[in-house]
Structure 1
Amino acid sequence: MSDKRKLKLVLCWHMHQPEYRDLQTGEFKLPWTYLHVIKDYVDMVAHLEAVPKAKAVVNFAPILLEQIEEYARQVNGYLHDRISITDPLLAALVDPSIPADPEERMRLVKDCMRANRERQIDRYPTFKRLIEMADWLEHHYDSLTYVNSQFISDVLAWYHLIWMGETIKLTDSRIKRLIEKGSGYTLHDRIEIIEVIAEQLTSVICRYKALARKGQVELSVTPYAHPIMPLLLDLNSTCEAMPDAPLPELDTYPGGEERVKWHLDKGVQTFKRLFGFKPKGCWPSEGGVSGQTLKILGDFGFDWTASGGSVLHNSLNLPENGKKPGIHHPFKLQETDIACFFRDDGLSDLIGFEYSKWHADDAVGDLIHHLENIAVHESGDKVVSIIMDGENAWEYYPANGYYFLSALYQRLASHPHIELTTFSECLQNKVDVKPLVKMVAGSWVYGTFSTWIGDADKNRGWDMLGDAKWTFDKVISVGRLTDKQIQQAELQLAVCEGSDWFWWFGDYNPGEAVSNFEKQFRLNLANLYRLLGEEPPAYLAMSFTQGSGAPAMGGAMRPGVELT
């Protein structure tokens, strides 16, 4: 089969973490950025390096790139000059003195229990025993007095060892030796672990950049702090896919279009500084699109964007769109200058939610069988887009998805009827771009914005953000801030506008995650008021949302199609 007749397949991995720093103190409040670097971002680039004929699109949120850069600076500063690290968990790993206070010890132990029990903790019998002891200590708090420093040292060392990517565990002699050691970890051992962490933080962005130079990876970008652009532009766009959704008291987000353009400009600036070129594509935060969003992205100079398959299904059901073409094509909305690809929700969700329970070879074989069926039964020049969270799925797989991803890239790269490609290559090769008269606004989650707006707690978050934005606009208009103060306030506002805070609000989610993210949201808003020289509203001192749910995969991922 000629290359022109092969089924085109784009694997797009979206790498994203919100801003976990308190921008006023510099302290990292949660450790997920550096943990996902050493586990997921490093593994993904290593899999691609191992199969040079494989291709993929990798999308980075700019605010994630900045945090990786800051972690690399701090960890190298510690190793070279003993400069302190502002992430409490990472700092504890190399602290010569284990805290004596029982409450501080328990906090460290609990922080080191945040991992997948089956795939990360239970995999290592020694660490499993330590965590079983920690479980017991949670219910016998008075016994903490008798817990010695070696227990805390071993828990800290093991926690960082289990978060190491599988490609590191298989190739790094230091990590192999420390895993085999099993117990009695010394300060020297823990410093060795942070040396490995420093190497990964320092090199990971450069490794992706090298693959982009070779043409093996297309790198793309999101708006700077990962806001839901259609909602900043028009909160009422919620109702296009959810006509009866309750909305915030806030009628419209003030100055939303200006803020969207700020996030796009700042995002591209950050991307260009770190990768050296302007990206051709933009994965909009959470695949959130609307007609107005596509117009702005096209005007901004992007060649392509993408969204969820349910958005396309909703749009094709509109009478204005007439004939119903197949979903495996890019589309161009009339009066816009950008091609929009749409995620195959079924295939993407199989990887995200099902294949972790399968043997790797069977899972890859099943995926290829689905792709072969598409190639045979759908006519025309087809592009299948598998678009996924690039970090959260793999902890549910054996060995962090090592066997699945290895087999996936190897078998797809050598398949006679499937061509791994990128979105930009598809457009360069003149794939058929279908016309779309009208689009229904939505995201890659269910084709709606229900994950970020439409229930009481999420709407309350929008009203709090709206109050802060009105204050921002008022203070800026009177001209009492210096240029530097305005820049600091703009950056703080951008963090508040990020999508992740709203994702976690509400009963659907686990209590600890909801608590962590709503505290960070209130802290971010309070910091914004202080930067503006205003007293934060009293309500920012009070929790406004709690979670009690147990969603699939811990709530960090959602399927593209709502289960009924």
Structure 2
Amino acid sequence: MTHPLYVAFIWHQHQPLYKSNLDGEYRLPWVRLHGTKDYLDLVLMLERFPKLHQTVNLVPSLILQIEDYIAGTAFDPYLALLLSPVETLRPEQQQFIIEHFFDAQHHTMIDPHPRYGELYGQRQDKGRDWCLNHWTAQDYSDLLAWHNLAWFDPLFWEDLEIANWLERGKGYTLSDRQRIYSKQREILSRIIPQHRRMQEAGQLEITTTPYTHPILPLLADTNAGRVALPEMPLPKYRFRWAEDIPRHLRRAKQMYRDRFGCNPRGLWPSEQSVSPAILPYITEQGFQWICADEAVLGWTLHHFFHRDGSGTLTEPELLYRPYRLETPHGDLAIVFRDHRLSDLIGFTYGNMEPQRAAIDLIGHLEAIGRTLKSHQQQGGTALEHPWLVTIALDGENCWEFYQEDGKPFLESLYQILSEHPAIELVTVSEFLDRFPPTVPLPAHQLHSGSWVDGSFSTWIGDSAKNRAWDLLIQARQTLANQPEATEENNPEAWEALYAAEGSDWFWWFGEGHSSNQDAMFDQLFREHLTTLYQALNQPVPVEVRQPVEPHLPRGDHRPDGFIHPVIDGIGDEQDWNRAGRIEIGGARGTMHQSTLVQRLWYGVDHLNLYLRVDFKTGAKPGVELPSEAHLLWFYPDRPMPVSPAPIAELPDQPPLNYLFRHHLGINLLTQTTWFQEAIGYYQWHSRVSRAQAAFDTCLEVAIPWADLPAVEPDWTLRLVVILADEGRYCSYLPENKFIPVDVP
């Protein structure tokens, strides 16, 4: 018997609990806005391709909030302003609107709408104070409307009311804004019924997650953080409340049964976090399969997954199959996602032309099939065994980086897959029913880790994260000290605990991730703890009333995630808001550097390495600035041809006197580039490059990874920038160190 290549897409739909029980108000609007853009359209588009089956994970905390908005009982500050007469806005409300009602990806969600783009341009070019002093009541009304209209998915643009609003473009009234809110609630009300219908029709499988998205291994024991990182600093107190795990699982299961009329088969462990300790609880609740990341499998098998130059696994048989976890309460299937394919959709394809991106993904799947066939003992042109490629990722946040919220990409992808003779899309349970896992994986051998590097360092180990854990531990102990406070007679205390145990708060604390809502996530976490203490009639500790960390402007930091900047020399703030940054001028640097260069920005995606240099405002190349910038790559501990930097009058000091492998020269006057690779005998050889460089208000550069064949995935390379005039050294940056770049 031969098989197609089976592919299981799993889309994870999640939002943390934004509702504060201190006053019953929602602090942030993301359930409402993503609800009109990302949850319904994803499955409606799939329904048009009935041959394609997929899995969608709906987190209970998301479902609860969707239902709250449908009922009209959920209010957030953004919604309150949407429904307010603009003539009565106070100055602080106007400031809030100017600051926060452009919270959208402007290339894809603001710029395509002329009026929204006009208002955004005024804020960016003339400044927030100018807007506050010059905007009319109609400007505010239009901005309030557009902040919500831009979040309607293009799939709904054919709706007559929405089409009318989009066509009109300006002049929106309070009545229009009230109707926009009604339309949002109408779309939200269709989400759960549509998922249920498609599951009952067999095209979808709906899975669930522990109630408020907690990291179960850390609830069982925060010492699990040291499995992957033995030297990890841990919180002062040890969290060990494994009895909370079945509570989260039971709540999730009951909510699922109430909405979908059956028991869930699959469980998406929050943050794809697993450990041996949590498996008995999962099987005891009747779940039949879970998913995790390929990094967890690699740690479990003590195997590093190698990929060839095109990104295809060289040992695909290890990843593309389900495993059977043997637990005291029965067997549990586990599938491991292909991290790279998932990341391509999540972080890279939005920066490509939609059809090209769809073809690229199909090409990767076909390459997997070819590799599997080449490993068959009997050869042959068809697969002799049923292999399963799992692609699992966030189903909401990536689409705002795509043209038309991903609609052209998904339509192209689904059309190709519907007609592809060698690829079949299945739900995970469909595959497991037909091909039960045969390879055992003893439960005690399962690695304790998450989708991020196979560790828990994103949620514990940092000093701020550990402080938050200590606050949670003390609150949990306070609840345990009052055994009379049960879930039945004091549900408010328990709900507050569950909310505070969610993973999202810890994600944003400390280093690693940051947004302009960091202070609000800090506040929400502490408000959940405050609610718990108040429900128990206990004094609220002073530490709970104080921020977990000061939310100050950030200095030097590593990248927070992938970036996809437009290389135009403008330095768009949204393009670089997740980039790494190194401050050069002002607080550090020599005198000439302080006046010349302000900061460096750097980041990556799967296509390119990106660099941005901010110079003194108004500085001109060849006048105040040198006329050239030279990028030089240093690869430590790699035997390869290297050469001194091809710059005259170079000081004999580290790192300038190191030997380098690659060199990109940029003429800042003409914006032309030249690329060289070191060859033997300390010489440089010119090579063709697709690097992009642009200089206007800053220097922006994109270097394709294809230009750097020496780099390997998951490796850190080093980069230095030398400024020169006609090939003669002027200065370098950053001082006394390299720019560290992690290869994806």
- Is TM (by shorter chain) over 0.5? yes
Tell whether 2:156 aligns with 1:168. yes
Give the aligned CA root-mean-square deviation in angstroms: 2.4
Paired amino acid for 1:34:
R
Question: Which of 54, 57, 67 does residue 56 from structure 1 map onto?
Answer: 54
**1:462 and 2:469 equivalent?**
yes
Pair 1:551-2:551 in alignment: no
Task: Give how far 1:385 is off.
Answer: 0.2
3-state DSSP of counterpart to 1:74? coil
- Please point out which of 382, 394, 403 is paired with 2:408: 403
Cα shift at 1:44 = 0.4
**Identity over aligned pairs, percent:** 37
Which structure has greater strand proportion? 2
How far apart in 2 are the matches of 1:482 and 1:415? Answer: 55
For the residue of structure 2 that corresponds to 1:257, the secondary structure is coil
Do the aligned partners of residues 559 and 490 (structure 1) sit closer, same or farther apart at CA in structure 2, a change above 3 Å counting?
farther
Match of 1:492 in 2: 496
Tell me the alpha carbon deviations over residues 436-476 of structure 1, each in whole angstroms, 9 at most, x when there is no partner: 231111111221111111111111111110011011111x2
Secondary structure of the corresponding residue to residue 13 of structure 1: strand
Mapped contact 2:316–2:368 kept (Cα < 8 A): no
Q: Deviations over 1:133-161 (max 9, x none)?
A: 234675427x6254322111100111111
Partner of 2:253 in structure 1?
Answer: 268
Aligned residue in 1 for 2:293: 308
Distance 2:270 2:154 in 1: 28
* Residues 406-425 of structure 1 mapped to structure 2, 5 A cutoff: 406-425=411-430
* 1:170-249 to 2 correspondences below 5 Å: 171-249=158-236
Q: 1:325 to 1:295 in 2, by over 3 A?
A: farther
| C-alpha distance 145-325 of structure 1, shift in aligned 2 (>3 A) | closer
* 2:346 alignment partner, one of 346, 352, 359: 352
Q: Which residue of 2 aligns with 1:328?
A: 320
Amino acid at match of 1:114: D
> Does residue 100 of the first structure (1) align with residue 89 of the second (2)?
yes
Alignment TM-score, normalising by the size of structure 2 = 0.70
Match of 2:135 in 1: 147
Q: 1:555 to 1:303 in 2, by over 3 A?
A: farther
Alignment match of 1:42 (pick from 40, 43, 59): 40
Per-residue deviation, 1:427: 1.1
User: Is contact 2:98–2:123 with CA below 8 Å preserved after alignment?
Assistant: yes
Q: Name the CA distance, whole Å, in 2 between partners of 1:446 and 1:179.
A: 43
Amino acid of the structure 1 residue aligned with 2:209: T
Could you report, residue by residue, the CA deviation over 1:145-188 in whole angstroms, capped at 9, with x for unpaired residues? 5432211110011111111111012x212112211111111122
Are residues 1:283 and 2:288 paired?
no
2:26 partner amino acid: F
CA contact (8 A) 1:329 1:341 kept: yes
The 3 A distance-change label for structure 1 pair 25 and 467 is same
* Mapped partners of 2:135, 2:86: distance in 1: 14
> How many Å apart are 1:259 and its aligned residue?
0.3
Q: Is the counterpart of residue 450 in structure 1 residue 430 in structure 2?
A: no
Structure 1 residues 450 and 247, CA gap change in structure 2 (3 angstroms): same
Deviation at 1:382, TM superposition (A): 0.7
Change (3 A) 1:482 1:521: closer
Alpha-carbon distance change, 147 to 366 in structure 1, aligned in 2, over 3 angstroms: closer
State the distance in 2 between where 1:293 and 1:356 align.
Answer: 36
Distance 1:483 1:351 in 2: 41
Q: Distance in 1 between matches of 2:11 and 2:248?
A: 21
Aligned partners of 2:108 and 2:303: how far apart in 1? 44
Q: Is the 8 A contact 1:381 1:431 kept in 2?
A: no
Secondary structure of 1:286's aligned partner: helix
Q: Measured at CA, do residues 526 and 90 of structure 1 come closer, stay the same or move farther in structure 2, by a change above 3 Å?
A: same
Structure 2 unaligned regions, length at least 5: 305-314, 377-384, 563-576, 580-603, 607-712, 715-741
Structure 1 pair 100–194 and aligned structure 2 pair: CA distance change class (3 A): closer
In the TM superposition, what whole-angstrom CA distance separates every residue of 1:46-95 from its partner, at most 9, and x where no partner exists? 211221221110001101101000100007xxxxxxxxx62221232223
CA distance in 2, matches of 1:138, 1:103: 16
Q: What amino acid does structure 1 have at the position aligned with 2:187? A: Q
How many residues in Structure 1 have an aligned counterpart in Structure 2?
A: 542
Look at both structures and tell me which one has the larger radius of gyration over its CA atoms.
2
> 1:308-331, CA deviations, whole angstroms, 9 ceiling, x for partnerless residues?
111001111179xxx995211111
Higher relative contact order (CA 8 A, sep 6+): 1
Change (3 A) 1:212 1:511: closer
Residue aligned with 1:140, SS:
helix
Q: 2:98 aligns with which of 109, 113, 124?
A: 109
1:475-530 CA deviation, whole Å, 9 max, x = no partner?
Answer: x22x3x58655211111100000000001111333352321211111111111111
1:483 and 1:392 map into 2 onto residues whose CA distance is: 34
Q: For residue 392 of structure 2, what is the aligned residue in structure 1?
A: 387
- Give the whole-Å Cα distance in 2 for the aligned partners of 1:332 and 1:462: 33
Q: In the alignment, which residue of structure 1 is the partner of 2:64?
A: 66
Q: 1:222 to 1:388 in 2, by over 3 A?
A: same
Alignment partner of 1:363 is 2:365? no
Aligned to 1:376: 370
Contact 1:54 1:410 (C-alpha < 8 Å) held by counterparts? no
Distance 2:79 2:296 in 1: 41
Deviation digits for residues 291-324 of structure 1 (CA, Å, limit 9, x no counterpart): 12223212221110000111001111179xxx99
* 1:229 Cα deviation from its structure 2 partner: 0.3
Q: Is the 8 A contact 2:217 2:224 kept in 1?
A: yes
- 1:13-50 Cα shifts (integer Å, max 9, x gaps): 00000000012422110000011110011220221122
Is the contact made by 2:462 and 2:511 (CA closer than 8 Å) also made in structure 1? Answer: no
Whole-angstrom CA distance in 2 between matches of 1:135 and 1:376: 50
In structure 2, how many angstroms separate the alpha carbons of the residues matched to 1:318 and 1:240? 16
Cα offset, 1:555, TM superposition: 6.5
Query: Which letter maps to 1:164?
Result: F
SS at match of 1:512: coil
SS in 2 for 1:192: helix
Mean Cα displacement is larger for which, 485-494 or 538-547? 538-547
Residue 133 in structure 1 maps to residue 122 in structure 2: yes
Q: Is the 8 A contact 1:295 1:337 kept in 2?
A: no
C-alpha distance in structure 1 between counterparts of 2:499 and 2:189, whole Å: 24
Unaligned runs of 5+ in 1: 76-84
Greater CA deviation, 89-98 or 41-50? 89-98
Query: How far apart are the structure 2 equivalents of 1:51 and 1:132?
Result: 40
Amino acid at match of 1:331: Y
The answer to whether the 8 Å contact 1:93/1:157 transfers is: yes
Residue 192 of structure 1: CA displacement? 2.5
Contact 1:98-1:153 at 8 Å conserved across structures: no
After the TM superposition, which of the residue ranges 510-519 and 209-218 deviates more from structure 2?
510-519
> Which structure: greater helix fraction?
1
Quote the Cα distance in structure 1 between the aligned partners of 2:477 and 2:302: 38
